[in-house]
Amino acid sequence: MKPFLISLLALTLSSAFRTSENSVYICDTKTSEVYHITKSCNALGRCKHEIITVTKEEAEKKLGKRACKVCG
Ligand SMILES: [Zn+2]
Q: Is residue 53 part of a domain?
A: yes
Tell me, yes or no, whether 27 lies in a domain: yes
The residues whose Cβ lies within 5 A of ligand 1, an ion, are: 36, 41, 43, 68, 70-71
Domains contained in the chain, number: 1
Ligand 1 centroid distance, CA of 7 (Å): 35
Q: Residue 15 falls within a domain, yes or no?
A: no
Residues 54 and 24: beta-carbon distance below 8 Å: yes
Res 69 pLDDT > 80: yes
- For 55, the enclosing helix (H) or strand (E) is strand 51-55
Please check whether residue 38 lies inside any domain of the structure: yes
Question: What is the per-residue pLDDT for 10?
Answer: 79
45, part of any domain: yes
Residue 6 lies inside a defined structural domain of this protein: no
**pTM of the complete model beyond 0.75:** no
- Within a domain: 55: yes
Parent domain of 67: 23-72
Whether 65 is in a domain gets the answer yes
Q: For 7-66, how does the pLDDT look when each residue is reduced to its tens digit (9 = 90+)? A: 877 777 766 655 556 899 999 998 899 999 999 999 999 999 999 999 999 999 999 999
